[in-house]
Amino acid sequence: MKKKFKCEIDCANCAAKVEEAVKKIDGVTDAKVNFMMQKFTLEADDARFDEILKEAVKVGKKIEPGFSVEF
């Protein structure tokens, strides 16, 4: 399943770091954090999508405390 969300992130460097970390989560096929558009795209296992999304947000907040995603 692939879904796009509006997100808030403070800098392009942080967006790249969050993107790389989210891609390492088990079940994630692909992830993109677009700083300019303030968009977060997550492609992950359908059966565990909600669980993976919550984990992705948690990982993002560890790297960039200002990172947030509107579900």
Determine the Cα–Cα distance for residues 40 and 62; give it in Å rounded to an integer: 16
Structure confidence at residue 59 (pLDDT): 98
Structure confidence at residue 5 (pLDDT): 98
pTM flag (> 0.75): yes
Determine the Cα–Cα distance for residues 42 and 31; give it in Å rounded to an integer: 5
Structure confidence at residue 71 (pLDDT): 87
| CATH node for 2-70 | 3.30.70.100
| Domain range list for the chain | 2-70
Mean pLDDT by 10 residues, the chain (71 residues): 97 97 98 98 98 98 96 87
Structure confidence at residue 15 (pLDDT): 98
Determine the Cα–Cα distance for residues 39 and 12; give it in Å rounded to an integer: 12
Structure confidence at residue 56 (pLDDT): 98
